[in-house]
Amino acid sequence: MGAKKFPELDPIIEKYRGKKGILIPVLHEVQNRVGYLPDDIQKHISRELKVPLSKITGVISFYSFFTTEPQGDHTLGICLGTACYVKGAEDLVDEVKDQLDISEGETSADGTFTLTVTRCVGTCSLAPVLMVDNKYYGNLTPADISGILEKYQDSSQEGN
């Protein structure tokens, strides 16, 4: 059986080929491009960069930023750092779970949102904080959640 080809990853592989200590930057770039790191992509990287597959899988499972599951169109990251926790971030998590009927790490049925709970995102003065992709929403209460989700639901549908 021939191995699956990923020509779209060639530029990334070529950029790093032969350099040392580049596994994590490669995984970052591939995940940025593909969205996640499934088995066949891990095997491809392993063959191309001559890194044992066990090491690649080990690295992916160690770092929380890497994921082997497809993600929703938008990632909701609720910060559970100290300041956010003190300011009631857990109520935000409950509100999102209720509204989207998903748990942490899961993707909503329509594929719009993936819910994650993150470590401190470093915007403690805005606590509690929700990140949608790279955008920060601060000083939130559970009542703010539905308005924020609606904004992204609309744009996703337009995109479809």
Which stretch in 2-10, 33-41, 105-113, 134-142 sits in contact with other proteins by CB under 8 A? 134-142
Which of residues 7 and 21 has its CB atom nearest to other proteins in the complex?
21
Binding flag, residue 104, other proteins (CB under 8 A): no
Task: Between 7 and 147, name the residue whose CB sits nearer to other proteins.
Answer: 147
62 sits near other proteins (criterion: CB under 8 A): yes
* Opening angle at CA 93, ends 118 and 62, nearest 5: 30
Site for other proteins in 13-52 (CB under 8 A): 20-25, 27-28
Q: Which stretch binds other proteins (CB under 8 A): 37-45, 63-71, 100-108, 151-159?
A: 63-71
Upstream peptide bond of 142 is cis (omega within 30 degrees of 0)? no
Instruction: Single out the segment in contact with other proteins by CB under 8 A; choices: 6-14, 61-69, 99-107, 149-157.
Output: 61-69
Using CA atoms, how far apart are residues 26 and 15, in angstroms rounded to an integer? Answer: 9
Rounded Cα gap, residues 160 and 144, in angstroms? 26
* Cβ-proximal residues to 133 (8 Å cutoff; 6+ apart), any chain: 74, 75
Nearest distance from C-beta of residue 26 to other proteins, angstroms: 9
Q: Which is nearer to other proteins, 75 or 111 (CB)?
A: 75
**DSSP run (H or E) holding 76:** strand 74-79
Helices 53-62 and 39-49, packing angle to 10 deg: 130
Binding status of residue 126 toward other proteins by CB under 8 A: yes
Strands 135-137 and 74-79: unpaired
Give contact residues for other proteins (rule: CB under 8 A). 20-25, 27-28, 55, 58-59, 62-66, 80-83, 85-87, 94, 118-127, 134-138
